[in-house]
Chains A and B, each alone.
Chain A
Amino acid sequence: AQTVTQSQPEMSVQEAETVTLSCTYDTSESDYYLFWYKQPPSRQMILVIRQEAYKQQNATENRFSVNFQKAAKSFSLKISDSQLGDAAMYFCARKETSGSRLTFGEGTQLTVNP
């Protein structure tokens, strides 16, 4: 199976600081989509940011931005000015354009310290 790998089971950051979560993936396709989802204690999955593989420009959503390195198959998430509400499990995901298969990584538990 083509995989999505998050090598950091846990990360912590001080409030107002910046943290980067790592993700690498495997694919044989040239076109696909990448996502970061957040899962707070309520367990509701919330989309944080998405990136189309054909776009070279890195996606940004307010305090959240990605570093997309297509050749390296790397897709990291940077959270700036971390807030207590950012504490959650973060999942990286890849969606194929052919077949709609959506595959998730193992997740990174982010703790934000006051």
Chain B
Amino acid sequence: DGGITQSPKYLFRKEGQNVTLSCEQNLNHDAMYWYRQDPGQGLRLIYYSQIVNDFQKGDIAEGYSVSREKKESFPLTVTSAQKNPTAFYLCASSIGVESTEAFFGQGTRLTVV
């Protein structure tokens, strides 16, 4: 089945540690996105990528890093520089500049203790 897979669903890390969230898609989409969602709030764009080996900062990129070495994969690293990393993280993909909507993964709930 085609879709977007985020893993793991729940992730716990100690404060000060870097952690990488996985996002894989088999939809052959060019564009991929990472969003952060805090309780009762909207989705804030962290990073997005239009094509392999290219990515742009979103609205809240500080403390995060990404890579796009393969079309299918867009991992997000939450670094120790991120002051409030505990949140729900959503990955999405879309064909690209065309009109179709974005498809979302199931999300990863990151808790830093």
Contact = CB atoms under 8 A, between A and B. Distances in A.
Interface residues of B, number: 28
A45 B42 contact: no
A36 to B, nearest CB: 10
A40 to B, nearest CB: 12
B45 A101 contact: yes
A91 B99 contact: no
Contact of B99 (A45, A52, A93, A102): A52
A104 B97 contact: no
B92 A102 contact: yes
B48 A102 contact: yes
A38 to B, nearest CB: 11
B41 A100 contact: no
Contact of A102 (B33, B42, B106): B33
A100 B101 contact: no
B45 A103 contact: yes
B50 A100 contact: yes
A100 B94 CA distance: 8
Nearest to A42: B106
Interface in B50-85: 50, 56, 58-59
Contacts of A107: 41-42
Please name the 8 residue pairs, one residue from A and one from B, whose CB atoms are nearest each other, closest first.
Answer: A45-B104, A106-B42, A104-B43, A100-B31, A107-B42, A47-B101, A100-B50, A104-B42
Interface of A: 1, 6, 33, 35, 43-45, 47, 50, 52, 91, 93, 95, 97-107, 109
Interface of B: 30-31, 33, 35, 37, 40-45, 48, 50, 56, 58-59, 88, 90, 92, 94, 96-97, 99, 101-102, 104, 106-107
